[in-house]
Structure 1
Amino acid sequence: MRSLDLLAAARRRVREDLGAFRERDPAAGSLLVLLTCYPGLHALWIYRIAHLCWAGGHTVIARLLSQVARLTTGVEIHPAADVGRRVVIDHGIGVVVGSTAEVGDDVLIYHGVTLGNRRPTDGKRHPTVGDDVMLGANATVLGPIEVGDGATVGGAAAVVDPVDPGTTVVGNPARPVGTTHPVDESTGQGVGAGDGAGDIDRIVCDGSGRPGDHADD
């Protein structure tokens, strides 16, 4: 019975992951394309198996699986990390998630993102990323800090301090440039967003938009 329960849960998780990738990536094609051409998806599935092995005490098998994922997808997620549901790793190459990192639900991670530590100490040493967070390309988040729900980390940002919920940070070291806002579907504009909304669009994935202009805002 337990095996059947695990199989049913795995099927639900696979459907969730496929749905999340379809929602976050307009270029997602057929089911066949998703299953064969999305290394971020493959890395997540291998991680989930490795995580179960790690939790069951099969640490060597878990580490071997994580290395298989790294070699085949370019994504390295330590099997001890805690990664939530409906996480999307877009492109995938160069993503590194450390052993004590925690990633919430519905998080979007672009290529080159590192969730690392600042010093090799025992205990919690990697970031905690909340729900609905977006981590832009080549962003680096270091140490046992928290990135709050709904926050955005701009491309190439280096984050060493906690990020408040709903805040966008950019630069090195990362600094807030504003808060994110829900989008009004009738206008396509952020509700309550000021002149910085366009800047947020430009910085979210590639770090453009001259973040230094906002350093003193």
Structure 2
Amino acid sequence: MACVVDIPLAEPSPSGPVKASLSKLIREDIGCVRQRDPAARGQLETLLTYPGIHALIWYRIANRLWLSGWRFPARLLSWFGRFVSNVDIHPGARIGRRFFIDHGACVVIGETAEVGDDVTLYHGVTLGGTSWSPGKRHPTLEDRVVVGAGAKILGPITVGAGSRVGANSVVIDSTPPDVTVVGIPARVVRPQLSHRRVVGKIDLDHHLMPDPVGDAIEVLLDRVEFLEARLTHMQKRLRDAGVPTTPPHETSHNLTEVDNG
């Protein structure tokens, strides 16, 4: 097993964050695919055949228009990006660097959602809201978060840096950093830093999830086995002491059957 480390993937600039150019952001989005998808064989193939990349390109352009006050063109471009990629990203969402949508399909990211750097989403993920009121109503995903296929993260909550969300989970509460959450509603099933962290890379083994129901059943079976062994031991001690171990109602039932016979 790889050692557990706390090394960020990208060191922040000493003078604070610097706004990258549009072309650099897109190049980083394309470049990070090969690190997280073994099926990616080259940047040209990635650029031409990955719908997640197509969606990100249209989002990056629409987001610049949105921030410049060109709201209608931004929404129109966002609609076109959704039409060609089946990924719906609102141009007002804030998405960090090296963002990857694997098998880009049916992903929805709301207007006030915030996504950190080096985040990975799988198909069917929703970063949705739970209110019609204006203001912050969509989730925040901090750096290095991995969200499994079909997961729904709802409301103005925060998923801590380095956390993983299991497939088809529904997250409605904020999570601490470096944990694994699964279920409906999602609960922490693996504590901080107990899952693998590979040096310089993102741990994409989001399929290695514990089974909380199976664990609970296993504990119950162990308890039943212990109680049965304890009962057998107590019955043996009573028999050795000459004390009858048959319950009174069973004794009465047996005597009645003898009398009737």
Normalised by the size of structure 2, how large is the TM-score?
0.69
Distance 2:92 2:135 in 1: 12
* 1:48-74 residue CA offsets vs partner (Å, 9 max, x unmatched): 100000011110100011111111101
Show the counterpart of 1:109.
Answer: 121
Distance apart, 1:18 and its partner CA:
1.7
The number of residue pairs the alignment matches comes to: 193
Distance apart, 1:172 and its partner CA:
0.4
Flag the structure with larger Rg. Answer: 2
- For the pair 1:150 / 2:162, whether they are aligned, the reply is yes
- Is the Cα contact below 8 Å between 2:22 and 2:61 reproduced in 1? no
Distance apart, 1:184 and its partner CA:
6.1
Distance 2:62 2:212 in 1: 39
- For the pair 1:9 / 2:9, whether they are aligned, the reply is no
Which of 11-20 and 124-133 deviates more?
A: 11-20
Normalised by the size of structure 1, how large is the TM-score?
0.82
Show the counterpart of 2:86.
Answer: 74
* 1:134 maps to which of 115, 128, 146: 146
SS at match of 2:56: helix
- For the pair 1:32 / 2:61, whether they are aligned, the reply is no
Distance apart, 1:114 and its partner CA:
0.3
Distance apart, 1:91 and its partner CA:
0.8
Change in 2 beyond 3 A, CA 1:128/1:34: same
Show the counterpart of 1:163.
Answer: 175
Q: Which amino acid aligns with 1:202?
A: L
- For the pair 1:65 / 2:77, whether they are aligned, the reply is yes
Taking only aligned residues, the RMSD between alpha carbons, in angstroms, comes to 2.2
Distance apart, 1:14 and its partner CA:
2.5
- Is the Cα contact below 8 Å between 2:166 and 2:207 reproduced in 1? no
Distance 1:152 1:32 in 2: 30
- For the pair 1:202 / 2:202, whether they are aligned, the reply is no
Show the counterpart of 1:193.
Answer: none
Show the counterpart of 1:212.
Answer: 213
Distance 1:82 1:35 in 2: 22
- Is the Cα contact below 8 Å between 1:177 and 1:214 reproduced in 2? no
Q: Which amino acid aligns with 2:161?
A: D
Distance 2:212 2:133 in 1: 32
Distance 1:47 1:153 in 2: 24
- Is the Cα contact below 8 Å between 1:169 and 1:175 reproduced in 2? yes
SS at match of 2:124: coil
Distance apart, 1:33 and its partner CA:
1.2
- Is the Cα contact below 8 Å between 1:86 and 1:107 reproduced in 2? yes
Structure 1 residue runs of 5 or longer lacking an equivalent are: 1-7, 191-197, 204-208
**How much identity, in percent, do the aligned residues show?**
49
Q: Which amino acid aligns with 1:171?
A: G
SS at match of 1:202: coil
Show the counterpart of 1:121.
Answer: 133
Change in 2 beyond 3 A, CA 1:106/1:214: farther
- Is the Cα contact below 8 Å between 1:98 and 1:126 reproduced in 2? yes
Q: Runs of 4+ in structure 1 displaced over 6 angstroms?
A: none
Distance apart, 1:121 and its partner CA:
1.1
- Is the Cα contact below 8 Å between 1:43 and 1:69 reproduced in 2? yes
Distance 1:212 1:144 in 2: 29
Distance 1:91 1:132 in 2: 18
